C-alpha cells in the first residue's frame, strides 16, 4: 500500500516535515538526528522533501493543508533558500491556518524574516534554559549569549511579522538549577504566546544517560511540575495539555475537538499538535517521521525509516484495539478531554460511571476531562479507562 493511499483527502489533512540535521546533538536527545551533515546531503534531502510535498498537494483538490509543522533536528541548519523553498511548496494551495517551524536560538537570522511574512505563522524556539551551567549540562550548541541574542531576534520577528512565539523549556534538572527562574525571566522579558515545558528524562543510550546525573525522583518531579504549573497560571498561561501552556487571550477557550473550520485560529494553543491529541489525520514526511491516516473505517500508522539518504515508509493498518487505545491515550492528555460521544459513535463503547474512575479526572458534559492533578497521571488514567469501558449495551444509562 502506498503512503498517500492512507489518507482521506476530502477531510482536513495536516502535514509534518522532519528535518533531521543539526549542528551538534544534545546530550539528552534520543530522537533521530544527523549532526554535521554535508551540504550535498542536505540538498538531496531537501529535493526529496519537495517531491513528497508535491505528491500530497496534488491530491488535495486545490485545498491547503490544515496545519503544517517543520521540526527536527534543527530546520535552521537549512539555508534560508532551502527552507523557503519547502515553505513555498507547502503553501502552493494556500497558507495553512497555522504553519510552525522549529529553530534553535543560534540559527535564526534576519534572512528568515521574509519567510514569516509570506509563509510561517509561528516560531517554536528551543530555549531550554537561561542558565549557562544548565545549557552546558544539556549539551546545547547555543551558549547563553547566543540564546539571549536569538530571543531578542525572535521579538523583532514577532513585532515585524505578527507571528506567534513558542519557547521550549526543560525542567526537573539537578537541584542546583531552578526552572522557576527560567520561567519568570522568559515570561517577563519575552512574553511568548506559548510555552512547552518538559521534564528532563534520561533516555537509554544518550550521553546524559551514561553520565547518570542525580535527578529528582518521580515524586519530587510531580511536586516540581505542580509548582511550575501554578507559577505559569499566575503569569497568565493556560495549562491545556500535559506539557503545554498557552497565554490567555481573554476570549472563551476554544474546544480543540470542535470541527476544524471553527475559529480555532483565535487561540494561542498549538493547533498542529492539537491535531495529534484530537486523533485526527496528519501526514509526516522525511526520515523517522510518523503519520496517522484514516480512510473509510480504516486507520493506518505510517513510519519512515531513520535513514536521511534513503528513507522508506512502512504502513500498518491498526486493529480495533490499537485505534481505541490511541484515541483514549491522546484524549486524556488535553484539557478538552476525551470525547465520550466519539467513544460511543466510533467505537461502540461507553465509560460506565458506576465503575472506578481514573484519579484526577471528572465527567463534564460529554467529555472526561483532567483536573490539574490528572495531567500528571494521564498514562495511568488511560489504563483505568480502558479497563472500565464496556459495550454500550452492557452499561446502564
Q: What is the DSSP letter of 28?
A: T
The 10s digit of each residue's pLDDT in 254-298 is 333 333 333 344 389 999 999 999 999 999 999 999 999 999 999
Q: Exposed, middle or buried by CB within 10 Å (0-12, 13-18, 19+), for 252?
A: exposed
φ/ψ region of 18 (left if φ > 0, alpha if ψ in -120 to 50, else beta) reads beta
Task: Evaluate whether 258 touches 264 at the Cβ level (below 8 Å).
Answer: yes
Predicted pLDDT at 82:
98
Q: Own/partner pairs for 243-251, CB < 8 Å, 24+ apart?
A: 243/196, 243/197, 243/198, 243/199, 244/194, 244/195, 244/196, 244/197, 244/269, 244/270, 244/273, 245/194, 245/195, 245/196, 245/197, 246/193, 246/194, 246/270, 247/191, 247/192, 247/193, 247/194
pTM for the model: 0.93
The 10s digit of each residue's pLDDT in 223-258 is 999 999 999 999 999 999 999 999 998 644 433 333
Q: What cell numbers appear for 258 in the block?
A: 470542535
Confidence of residue 1 (pLDDT cuts 50, 70, 90): confident
Domain map (residue ranges) of the chain: 3-277, 321-397
Report whether CATH 3.80.30.20 matches the domain 3-277.
yes
Q: Exposed, middle or buried by CB within 10 Å (0-12, 13-18, 19+), for 140?
A: buried
Q: Compute the distance between CA of residue 345 and CA of residue 341 in angstroms, rounded to an integer.
A: 6
Q: Using the predicted structure, report yes or no on whether residue 21 has a pLDDT greater than 90.
A: yes
Evaluated on CA atoms 100, 105, 106, 111, the torsion sign reads: positive
Cis peptide upstream of residue 73 (ω within 30 degrees of 0):
yes
Predicted pLDDT at 250:
61
Q: Are strands 98-103 and 122-128 parallel, antiparallel or unpaired?
A: parallel
Q: What cell numbers appear for 352 in the block?
A: 460506565
What does the pLDDT average to over 24-50? 94
Q: What cell numbers appear for 166 in the block?
A: 513558542
Q: Exposed, middle or buried by CB within 10 Å (0-12, 13-18, 19+), for 371?
A: exposed
Q: What cell numbers appear for 132 in the block?
A: 549557562
Task: Evaluate whether 166 touches 192 at the Cβ level (below 8 Å).
Answer: yes
The 10s digit of each residue's pLDDT in 172-203 is 999 999 899 999 999 999 999 999 999 999 99
Q: Using the predicted structure, report yes or no on whether residue 127 has a pLDDT greater than 60.
A: yes
Q: What angle do CA 268, 269, 273 make, to 5 degrees?
A: 145
Q: What cell numbers appear for 376 in the block?
A: 500528571
Closest CA to 177 of 228, 141, 247: 228
Q: Using the predicted structure, report yes or no on whether residue 352 has a pLDDT greater than 90.
A: no
Q: What cell numbers appear for 47 in the block?
A: 529535493
Task: Evaluate whether 104 touches 141 at the Cβ level (below 8 Å).
Answer: yes
Q: Compute the distance between CA of residue 369 and CA of residue 132 in angstroms, rounded to an integer.
A: 39
Amino acid at each position: 500500500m502506498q503512503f498517500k493511499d492512507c489518507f482521506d483527502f476530502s477531510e482536513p489533512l495536516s502535514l509534518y516535515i522532519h528535518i533531521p540535521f543539526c549542528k551538534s546533538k544534545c546530550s539528552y536527545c534520543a530522537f533521530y538526528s544527523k549532526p554535521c551533515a554535508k551540504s550535498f546531503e542536505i540538498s538531496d534531502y531537501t529535493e526529496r522533501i519537495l517531491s513528497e510535498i508535491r505528491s500530497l498537494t496534488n491530491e488535495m483538490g486545490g485545498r491547503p493543508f490544515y496545519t503544517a509543522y517543520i521540526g527536527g533536528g534543527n530546520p535552521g541548519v537549512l539555508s534560508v533558500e532551502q527552507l523557503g523553498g519547502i515553505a513555498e511548496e507547502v503553501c502552493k494551495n494556500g497558507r495553512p491556518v497555522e504553519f510552525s517551524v522549529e529553530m534553535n536560538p543560534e540559527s535564526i537570522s534576519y534572512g528568515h524574516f521574509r519567510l514569516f511574512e509570506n509563509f510561517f505563522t509561528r516560531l517554536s524556539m528551543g530555549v531550554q534554559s537561561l542558565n549557562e551551567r544548565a545549557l552546558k549540562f544539556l549539551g546545547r550548541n547555543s551558549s547563553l549569549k547566543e540564546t539571549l541574542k536569538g530571543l531578542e531576534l525572535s521579538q523583532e520577528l514577532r513585532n515585524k511579522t505578527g507571528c506567534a512565539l513558542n519557547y521550549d523549556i526543560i525542567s526537573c534538572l539537578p537541584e542546583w538549577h531552578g526552572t522557576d527562574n527560567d520561567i519568570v525571566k522568559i515570561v517577563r522579558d519575552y512574553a511568548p504566546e506559548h510555552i512547552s515545558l518538559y521534564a528532563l528524562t534520561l533516555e537509554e543510550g544518550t550521553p546524559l544517560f551514561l553520565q547518570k546525573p542525580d535527578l529528582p525522583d518521580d515524586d519530587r518531579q510531580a511536586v516540581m511540575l505542580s509548582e511550575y504549573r501554578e507559577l505559569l497560571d499566575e503569569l497568565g498561561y493556560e495549562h491545556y495539555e500535559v506539557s503545554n501552556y498557552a497565554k490567555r487571550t481573554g476570549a472563551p477557550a476554544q474546544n480543540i475537538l470542535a470541527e476544524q473550520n471553527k475559529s480555532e485560529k483565535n487561540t494561542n494553543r498549538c493547533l498542529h499538535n492539537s491535531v495529534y491529541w484530537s486523533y485526527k489525520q496528519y501526514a509526516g514526511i522525511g526520515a523517522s517521521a510518523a503519520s496517522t491516516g484514516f480512510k473509510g473505517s480504516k486507520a493506518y500508522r505510517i513510519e519512515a525509516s531513520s535513514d536521511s539518504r534513503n528513507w522508506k515508509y512502512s504502513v500498518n493498518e491498526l486493529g480495533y484495539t490499537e485505534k481505541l487505545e490511541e484515541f483514549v491515550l491522546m484524549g486524556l492528555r488535553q484539557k478538552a478531554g476525551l470525547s465520550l460521544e466519539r467513544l460511543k459513535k466510533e467505537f461502540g463503547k461507553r465509560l460506565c460511571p458506576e465503575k472506578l474512575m481514573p484519579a484526577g479526572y471528572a465527567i463534564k458534559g460529554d467529555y472526561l476531562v483532567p483536573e490539574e492533578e490528572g495531567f500528571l497521571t494521564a498514562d495511568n488514567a488511560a489504563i483505568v479507562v480502558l479497563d472500565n469501558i464496556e459495550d454500550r449495551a452492557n452499561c446502564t444509562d
